[in-house]
């Protein structure tokens, strides 16, 4: 019998080692899938959040460049100092909100999936056409394996101070008795109109997501009003 060449023996050992590693990896992924984790869903969610982070970073760089430009302009035009100073303050406030959003998204990427199976994505408030009216833009992202749709309700409330109390519930904000309903496989957006009572000063917006499945704790997220408001 011909002797086994050393290089062929080494190749066999390397092939067996690689095969064993592949089997271990497949077993690992199977275990995560059985536990409710899907690498495809994780990649999809990561790509959505990474795109938001990239957009926010670009906006922040643009705002910072605009601030530097206005500061230079302000130094050479003393007569426009008050207007430019006010504009710089507004831009710096936008930069601060962008930084808070970036910190939030990074925290979402670093945290685990909630038991409810969905996660709150972007939340933003913009002024409506009438006084005390605001449009809320919020989204839900799937946080577990997308082997079917998940459903439930979303409700909003605002905490602050005013003649009528410290909290405005979902019914009072939207004028509808029923909560918003969601049914999604990957992603869903909502754009409800919120109306604050006269004299109310908002401080925090709370988003409560409830599952249609029994014995699942609701997901509650609270955001500073100033951090999610746009001019």
What is the pLDDT, as a whole number, of residue 90? 75
CATH of domain 114-231: 2.60.40.2420
The per-residue DSSP string of 73-140 comes to HHHH-GGGHHHHHHHHHHHHHHHHHHHHHHHHHHHHHHSPPPTTSEEEEEEEEEE-SSTTEEEEEEEE
Burial class of residue 147 (count of CB atoms within 10 Å of its CB; 0-12, 13-18, 19+)? exposed
Percentage of the chain exceeding pLDDT 90: 31
Q: At residue 48, does pLDDT exceed 90? A: no
Across the range 77-97, mean pLDDT stands at: 69
Q: What is the pLDDT of residues 182-222, one digit of tens each?
A: 998 888 999 999 999 999 999 999 999 999 988 888 999 99
Q: Which two tokens stand for residue 107?
A: 């925290």
Does residue 170 contact residue 163 with C-beta atoms inside 8 Å? no
Q: What is the pLDDT of residues 113-147, one digit of tens each?
A: 567 888 898 899 999 989 999 999 999 888 766 66
C-alpha atoms less than 13 angstroms from C-alpha of 224 in its C-beta half-sphere: 8
Q: At residue 224, does pLDDT exceed 90? A: yes
Q: What is the mean pLDDT of the chain?
A: 77
């Amino acid at each position: 019998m011909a002797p086994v060449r050393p290089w062929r023996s080494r190749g066999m050992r390397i092939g067996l080692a690689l095969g064993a590693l592949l089997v271990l990896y497949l077993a690992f992924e199977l275990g995560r899938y059985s536990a409710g984790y899907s690498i495809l869903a994780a990649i999809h969610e990561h790509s959505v959040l990474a795109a938001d982070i990239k957009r926010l970073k670009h906006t922040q760089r643009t705002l910072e460049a605009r601030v530097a430009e206005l500061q230079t302009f302000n130094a050479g035009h003393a007569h426009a100092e008050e207007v430019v100073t006010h504009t710089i303050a507004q831009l710096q406030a936008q930069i601060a909100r962008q930084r808070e959003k970036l910190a939030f998204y990074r925290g979402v990427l670093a945290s685990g999936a909630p038991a409810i199976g969905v996660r709150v994505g972007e939340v933003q408030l913009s002024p409506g056409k009438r006084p005390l009216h605001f449009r809320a833009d919020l989204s839900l992202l799937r946080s577990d394996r997308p082997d079917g749709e998940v459903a439930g309700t979303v409700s909003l409330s605002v905490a602050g101070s005013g003649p009528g109390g410290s909290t405005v519930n979902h019914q009072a904000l939207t004028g509808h008795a029923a909560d918003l309903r969601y049914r999604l496989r990957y992603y869903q957006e909502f754009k409800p109109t919120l109306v604050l009572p006269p004299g109310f000063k908002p401080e925090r917006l709370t988003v409560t997501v409830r599952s249609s499945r029994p014995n699942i704790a609701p997901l509650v997220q609270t955001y500073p009003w100033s951090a999610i408001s746009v001019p």
